[in-house]
């Protein structure tokens, strides 16, 4: 191997992406005419390590590795030293330092960062879903949802949708208004996937009056009148009975409490929603 021709073996008990990124960052600091990176992911036994080291020795390669399984890491270091193969251990200094600070032992399980990334992207997907199918914007989302919330205005449909989205649950919500028939797609959703939201009329008057105040409108508007609220609640109750869905009263509950009740309802009926909650 000439000084301008470098071969790097990336070895990992996971996919090796972290080690490759670090190796490339290091290489960028040198003016190399050519170099080659070879990645060997999912290394799980001694035989695989020995075969790679034999090849690395012949090619005068440098080994960069991320091995969190202690036994495999020790084999790799011991055998590389015996064969005078230069090696760089990416993970051990980081894990050891964190272990000292946290006063805790690492789990030593390969691939955990991938699982964290997957949960993160599922959460982002659920949040985007909640925004897209909020307030009945597109009824086509009802059949794709893990959960559908229905209720009249100011029954926490949107806050609950967003809160549950952060738990990887895809939620669509539909407002119930006497003058507007519910979308036909709602009646094709299994009742076990629907939660009805109701509230105390007196509490709702207060909430709606505050809403009108924030908008600079008069408190006497029909939106905040008792007759109108009772009409809407009766209409919603009729729809919920027709759908045969569970109903919860959100009038004196925080969003977190309502969400907990919803998730508990689904656990009790054995319907699983949201991957990786």
Burial of residue 38, with CB atoms counted within 10 A of its CB: 0-12 exposed, 13-18 middle, 19 or more buried: middle
Show contacts of 81-84: CB within 8 Å, 24+ apart: 83/53, 83/56, 83/57, 84/57
User: % helix / strand / coil in the chain, to the nearest 5?
Assistant: 50, 15, 30
Per-residue b or e along 65-74, where b marks 16 or more CB atoms closer than 10 Å to that residue's CB: bbbbeeebbe
Q: Which of 176, 183, 160, 169 is nearest to 128 (CA)?
A: 169
Annotated ligand binding at 151? The verdict is yes
Annotated ligand binding at 158? The verdict is yes
Give the alpha-carbon dihedral of 73, 79, 82, 87, to 10 degrees. Answer: -50
Annotated ligand binding at 26? The verdict is no
Annotated ligand binding at 207? The verdict is no
Annotated ligand binding at 95? The verdict is no
Annotated ligand binding at 154? The verdict is yes
Q: Please report, in range form, the residues annotated as the binding site.
A: 151-158
Question: Binding site for ADP: what residues are annotated?
Answer: 151-158
């Amino acid at each position: 191997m000439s000084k301008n021709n470098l071969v790097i073996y990336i070895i990992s008990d996971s996919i090796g992406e972290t080690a490759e990124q670090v190796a490339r960052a290091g290489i960028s600091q040198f003016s190399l005419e050519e170099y080659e990176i070879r990645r060997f992911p999912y290394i799980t036994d001694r035989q695989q390590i020995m075969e790679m080291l034999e090849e690395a020795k012949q090619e005068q390669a440098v080994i960069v590795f991320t091995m969190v399984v202690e036994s495999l890491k020790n084999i790799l270091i011991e055998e590389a030293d015996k064969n005078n193969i230069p090696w760089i251990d990416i993970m051990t200094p980081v894990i050891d330092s964190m272990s000292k600070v946290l006063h805790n032992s690492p789990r030593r399980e390969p691939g955990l960062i991938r699982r964290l990334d997957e949960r993160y992207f599922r959460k982002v997907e659920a949040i985007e879903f909640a925004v897209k199918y909020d307030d009945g914007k597109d009824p086509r989302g009802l059949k794709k949802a893990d959960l559908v919330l229905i209720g009249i205005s100011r029954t926490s449909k949107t806050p609950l949708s967003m809160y549950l989205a952060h738990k990887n649950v895809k939620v669509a919500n539909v407002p119930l208004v006497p003058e507007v028939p519910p979308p036909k797609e709602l009646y094709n959703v299994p009742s076990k996937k629907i939660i009805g939201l109701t509230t105390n009329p007196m509490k709702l008057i207060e909430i709606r009056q505050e809403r009108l105040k924030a908008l600079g409108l008069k408190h006497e508007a029909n939106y905040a009148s008792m007759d109108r609220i009772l009409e809407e609640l009766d209409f919603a109750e009729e729809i919920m009975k027709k759908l045969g869905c569970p109903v919860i009263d959100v009038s004196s509950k925080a969003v977190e409490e309502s969400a907990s009740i919803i998730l508990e309802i689904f656990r009790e009926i054995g319907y699983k929603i949201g991957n990786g909650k």
